[in-house]
């Protein structure tokens, strides 16, 4: 039996787990929301484990809402991706390379590591905007604080989170260099907290 010339690793379902989270921007003053674990003092990005049959975007929004207390929505961004557009399927002229696409809510990064339980864990990271009409979050196991771009990157405890934030900031600047006013108006409307995660 022939073996693939490419490096391949396969994980059965009992040996991997998925998480999803978002770098949460407050658009009006270009701040990033971080959380601090009150028990350990660690500064982190908000995320959560994906539930069975849950869409990854929904898992990310739910995880951010639970950890920060802020309702949020995915922020359409410009990024390079290997994912083809829907109408590209079956087309012969689709180039097999990373292409720049605008207005997408695709994940922009996924770090992977071995969890404390020994499972292979990946976390899908998105860019999101908070609902600025929200009241201040109530006390939870996490403290929530807003930082400017440089402060957020310097405050995070883990290098992997700093890498995620640096990439999110670069994407944010590329995506909204000329359209920030329109994006802020879009983010301030009242269509927030879809029932898919707000009631969980």
Give me the domains of the chain, ranges plus CATH numbers: 16-189 (3.90.79.10)
Query: Is the backbone of residue 113 left (phi > 0), alpha (psi -120 to 50) or beta?
Result: beta
Burial code (b: 16+ CB inside 10 Å, e: under 16) for 85-119 equals: eeeeeeeeeeeeeeeeeeebebbbbebeeeeeeee
Give CA separation, 142 vs 14, 40, 107, in Å. Answer: 29, 10, 24
- Please give the pLDDT value at position 195: 42
- Please give the pLDDT value at position 194: 43
* Residue given tokens 């390079």 in the structure block: 80
User: pTM to 2 decimals?
Assistant: 0.85
- Please give the pLDDT value at position 171: 95
Mean pLDDT for back-to-back runs of 10 residues, the chain (200 residues): 79 89 93 94 96 95 92 92 72 75 93 84 94 73 93 96 97 78 54 43
Would you give the distance in Å from CA 197 to the centre of its chain?
15
- Please give the pLDDT value at position 200: 38
């Amino acid at each position: 039996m022939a073996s693939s010339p490419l490096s391949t690793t396969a994980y059965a379902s009992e040996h991997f787990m998925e998480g999803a989270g978002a770098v949460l921007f407050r658009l009006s003053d270009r701040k990033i929301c971080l959380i601090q674990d009150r028990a350990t003092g660690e500064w982190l990005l908000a995320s959560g484990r994906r539930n069975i049959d849950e869409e990854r975007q929904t898992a990310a929004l739910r995880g951010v809402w639970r950890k920060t207390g802020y309702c949020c929505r995915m922020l359409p961004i410009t990024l390079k991706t290997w994912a083809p557009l829907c109408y590209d399927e079956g087309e012969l002229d689709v180039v097999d390379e990373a292409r720049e696409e605008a207005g997408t809510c695709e994940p922009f990064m996924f770090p992977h590591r071995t969890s404390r339980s020994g499972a292979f864990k990946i976390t899908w990271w998105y860019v999101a905007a908070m609902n600025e009409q929200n009241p201040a979050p109530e006390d939870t196991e996490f403290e929530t604080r807003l930082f400017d771009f440089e402060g957020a990157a310097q405050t995070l405890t883990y290098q992997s989170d700093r890498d995620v934030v640096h990439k999110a900031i670069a994407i944010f600047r590329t995506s909204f260099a000329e359209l920030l006013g329109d994006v802020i108006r879009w983010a301030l409307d009242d269509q927030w907290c879809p029932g898919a995660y707000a009631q969980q």
